[in-house]
């Protein structure tokens, strides 16, 4: 029990081939330093994108470490509302029940949904004349300082006695849990625990409550050695056996177990596909106009993050850059049964790279509050027994 004392987009045509401008909430950039004059955060989208969110009764979370934002994509009466919150280099996202964890440059922030705050949000000047009502409000409840370990993908998994947060510790080439950070697994070819981003371990797939598969961009133990063969040196590993089961991938990311199949993104090719575990072969089902990274599913649809990727040594000499001179940043929705693109949201300014894409099911218009110290300071979460002693006039 709890008690407590945006950003619009305009649609494209209903067909994925066309798009209209999306406009961010008025308060999306209110916590930015005006003197720094940040790039405008502008996007366009197909009408099918907010329609899908309405049908699914869902919203979408996106992290962009390059822009330093968490982006919340929400349907507002047929218009895609793009809502931005500032973080320091956010990458990994984990969602479970009413909990949300965000991995940043030196720490992990955990937010819990406190529904009692929603009426307070709806009563603000920015919201009270709008058609929407908030149905979730995530407030910070816990933070863990990890140091600069390049946290990548994250998930809550089955622990000894409870669910625990596990994340890819890319700097140290291992999987870790929170406590500063506690290493729990590393590839067999990583012979020491030291920073250096040897293999660029980056993604993990959870099966039956345990981390089962991981992706990496190389298989050597010297710092930064994955860069030597990034074009096709990527691998997929089985965690329990610590064996490499697929080789020859171009910068793989975001492995996912869905519908009894293993899916992943071959980012260097700009594709989504599935892995035949019997043969160790990757089969592409769709090629997209950007560096594919960040993956979530609902029904027959995959939501895929696309990045423009910078012209730099990191992304040179990969098939995607050779194939496309102009690359796209956004969230694409692909039917995994047909390979057809059915919707998209494309960022045109301010955001060039995306890391994570996560669905918030049964949550249509959420907010996350990390910028309003007064609201956070006047919001309390108590157990039911303690709440009985709180006078009624203090609850809202």
Domain locations in the chain? 2-394
CATH 1.10.20.140 fits 2-394, yes or no: no
| Confidence (pLDDT) at 4 | 33
> Which segment, 6-10, 137-141, 175-179, 370-374, is predicted with the most confidence on average?
137-141
C-alpha distances (whole Å) from 13 to each of 16, 51, 112, 250 are: 7, 12, 36, 34
Residue 68: pLDDT over 50:
yes
| Confidence (pLDDT) at 352 | 92
| Confidence (pLDDT) at 180 | 75
User: What does the chain come to in residues?
Assistant: 396
Work out the widest C-alpha separation in the chain, in whole angstroms: 66
Question: In this structure, is the dihedral angle defined by the CA atoms of residues 7, 41, 364 and 333, taken in order, positive or negative?
Answer: positive
What sections of the chain are H helices per DSSP?
48-56, 118-122, 319-323, 373-377, 384-387
Residue (of 180, 178, 166, 181) closest to 214 by Cα position: 166
Helix (H) or strand (E) holding 101: strand 99-103
Residue 125: pLDDT over 60:
no
Q: Region 145-163: what's the mean pLDDT?
A: 93
Specify the 3-state DSSP secondary structure of 145. strand
| Confidence (pLDDT) at 312 | 63
Per-residue confidence at 374, pLDDT binned at 50, 70, 90?
confident
Higher pLDDT, 388 or 241: 241
Task: Give per-residue pLDDT as tens, 275-291.
Answer: 999 999 999 999 999 99
The percentage of the chain sitting over the pLDDT mark of 90, rounded to a whole number, equals 72
Answer for the pair 14, 390: CB distance below 8 angstroms, yes or no.
no
Per-residue confidence at 299, pLDDT binned at 50, 70, 90?
very high
Q: Region 47-75: what's the mean pLDDT?
A: 96
**Mean pLDDT, rounded, of the chain:** 88
């Amino acid at each position: 029990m709890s008690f407590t004392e945006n950003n619009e987009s305009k649609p494209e045509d209903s067909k994925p081939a066309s798009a209209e401008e999306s406009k961010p909430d008025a308060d999306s950039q209110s916590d930015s330093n005006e003197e720094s004059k940040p790039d405008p955060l502008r996007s366009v989208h197909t009408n099918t994108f907010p329609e899908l969110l309405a049908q699914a009764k869902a919203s979408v979370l996106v992290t962009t470490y390059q822009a330093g934002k968490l982006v919340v994509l929400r349907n507002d009466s047929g218009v895609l509302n793009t809502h931005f919150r500032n973080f320091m280099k956010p990458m990994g996202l984990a969602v479970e029940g009413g909990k949300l964890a965000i991995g940043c440059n030196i720490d992990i922030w955990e937010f819990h949904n406190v529904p009692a705050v929603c009426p307070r949000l709806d009563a603000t000047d920015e919201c009270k004349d709008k058609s929407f009502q908030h149905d979730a409000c995530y407030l910070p409840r816990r933070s863990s300082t990890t140091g600069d370990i390049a946290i990548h993908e994250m998930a809550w998994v089955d622990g000894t006695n409870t669910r625990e947060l596990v994340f890819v510790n890319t700097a140290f080439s291992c999987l870790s849990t929170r406590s500063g950070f506690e290493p729990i697994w590393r590839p067999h070819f990583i012979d020491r625990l030291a920073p250096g981003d040897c293999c660029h371990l980056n993604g993990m797939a959870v099966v039956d409550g345990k981390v089962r598969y991981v992706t990496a961009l190389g298989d050597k133990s010297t710092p930064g050695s994955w860069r030597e063969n990034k074009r096709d040196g990527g691998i997929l590993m089985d965690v329990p056996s610590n064996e490499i089961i697929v080789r020859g991938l171009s910068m793989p990311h975001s492995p996912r177990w869905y519908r009894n199949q293993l899916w992943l993104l071959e980012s260097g090719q700009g594709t989504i596909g599935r892995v035949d575990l019997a043969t160790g072969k990757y089969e592409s089902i769709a090629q997209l106009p950007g560096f594919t990274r960040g993956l979530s599913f609902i029904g027959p649809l995959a939501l895929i993050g696309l990045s423009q990727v910078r012209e730099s040594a990191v992304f040179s000499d990969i098939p995607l850059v050779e194939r496309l001179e102009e690359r796209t940043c956004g969230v694409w929705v692909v039917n995994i049964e047909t390979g057809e693109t059915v919707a998209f949201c494309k960022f045109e300014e301010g955001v060039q790279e995306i890391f994570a894409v996560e669905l918030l099911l049964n949550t249509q218009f959420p907010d996350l509050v990390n910028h309003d110290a007064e609201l956070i300071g006047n919001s309390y979460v108590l157990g039911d027994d303690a709440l009985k002693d709180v006078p009624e006039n203090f609850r809202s």
